[in-house]
Structure 1
Amino acid sequence: MAVAAATDGSGDVNGVRGGVIEPAHLGDERTTLLGFLQRQRDLVAWKMRDASDGTLASVRMPSGLTLHGIVRHLENVERSWFREFFGGQTGLRFDWTDEDPDADMRAEGVPMAELLASYAAETELCDEVIAAASSLDATAVDPDGTYSLRWVVVHMIEETGRHLGHIDLLREQADGAVGEGPPADA
């Protein structure tokens, strides 16, 4: 993905502000979609900034959903969609099982810094699969049907964005921290 350092993304390449990608305003489809995917990923880490593990672990939804669990889940779904499904990689480790399909949503006792580092490493591996594809029209097939890389990227933007909403609410509940991203002067 083309990224220009410390730009606002107003041109045809993705910029970065405060450690968070600013998607290109004038980029082609691939640059724009991958810019928005990376922005969602970056915001996961940004939302966890400057909070202790104790603070982050102090809140949970009635369903048991936690900030730590969301990060582990996002790592697993990226691995599943990009590397296993689209990239055809086998022998990958997942935190869910047939007996416990929600096990990836639990990460008690794992430091947030470790979860975020693992998530970032996974997204880099997933980006290699994306980069290897000739176009967003490339397809992969599973028992549920045929999907384009475009669909998988948009789905992951949706999935990560949906969980960012959960992260927003849980982080505000934990310590009052709010915000959609780094300030313009970051």
Structure 2
Amino acid sequence: MDPALFTAPLKSQFEAFLDEHRAGLAASLDGLTEAEARASLVPSRTTLLGLVKHGTFIERVWFDEAVTGRTRAEIGIPATPDESFVLAPSDTIGTVRADYLAACQEARRATAPLGLDDVVSGNRRGPLPLRWVYLHMLRELAQHCGHADILREQVLAARAGAPAAEGPAAR
């Protein structure tokens, strides 16, 4: 991390941490086959590809729906978080990652003119300051990056002759 960030404005610090987690989630798919990205290793709908697809959902909920007030139907995202993990046959590493990166870029554009104390009013919880939204997103992205690290470790361990551990420290 750039040392200049240590004394940068708080919004810049939040955004740097958001971008670090966004990059980590996108990178969880690096070097995987389509089958590995879709591998179901836990009882829930959570897969590596599904986690990144869910990342697109949360970016659009918090930085489109909450900021603009558009409905999820208008945005073109599922009605519930659980549905956001569902993979379509047409979903690939390339398409899901591209959609996720586009959602992240759209989020940056949507929040660029806002200050941390500016209130966004389109979320179902009611009006919230951008600071709260950033903190919520940091928590959610950190959680999903942790899930992705564990799933990726399992996928790589299943490869014949592959080392069992390739978490964030190994990348």
* TM-score normalised per structure 1: 0.78
Contact 1:70 1:163 survives alignment (8 Å): yes
Residue type at the aligned position of 1:178: E
Which is worse superposed, 64-73 or 142-151? 142-151
Structure 1 SS opposite 2:6 = coil
Residue 129 of structure 1 deviates from its aligned partner by 0.9
Unpaired runs of 5+ residues, structure 2, are 158-164
Q: Is 1:92 aligned with 2:85?
A: no
Residue 85 of structure 1 deviates from its aligned partner by 1.2
Structure 2 SS opposite 1:137 = coil
| Map 1:139-178 → 2, pairs under 5 A | 139-141=119-121, 142=123, 144-176=125-157, 178=166
Which is worse superposed, 52-61 or 41-50? 52-61
Equivalent of 1:32 in 8, 13, 18: 13
| Separation in 2, partners of 1:178, 1:56 | 15
2:162 corresponds to: none
Residue 145 of structure 1 deviates from its aligned partner by 3.1
1:180 corresponds to: 168
Residue 68 of structure 1 deviates from its aligned partner by 1.3
Q: Superposition RMSD on alpha carbons, in Å?
A: 1.9
Greater fraction of residues in helix = 2
1:10 corresponds to: 3
| Map 1:50-65 → 2, pairs under 5 A | 50-65=31-46
* 1:112-152 residue CA offsets vs partner (Å, 9 max, x unmatched): 1210110000111111111021x110002355332100110
* TM-score normalised per structure 2: 0.84
| Separation in 2, partners of 1:179, 1:102 | 25
2:86 corresponds to: 106
Count matched residues.
160
CA separation of 1:143 and 1:155: change in aligned 2, threshold 3 A:
closer
Structure 1 SS opposite 2:3 = coil
CA separation of 1:25 and 1:182: change in aligned 2, threshold 3 A:
farther
Unpaired runs of 5+ residues, structure 1, are 1-7, 12-23
Superposition misfits of 4+ residues, deviation over 6 angstroms: none
Structure 1 SS opposite 2:59 = helix
More relative contact order, 1 or 2 (CA 8 Å, 6+ apart): 2
CA separation of 1:96 and 1:28: change in aligned 2, threshold 3 A:
same
| Separation in 2, partners of 1:96, 1:154 | 23
* 1:26-79 residue CA offsets vs partner (Å, 9 max, x unmatched): 322011000000000001122221111122223431123111111111101110
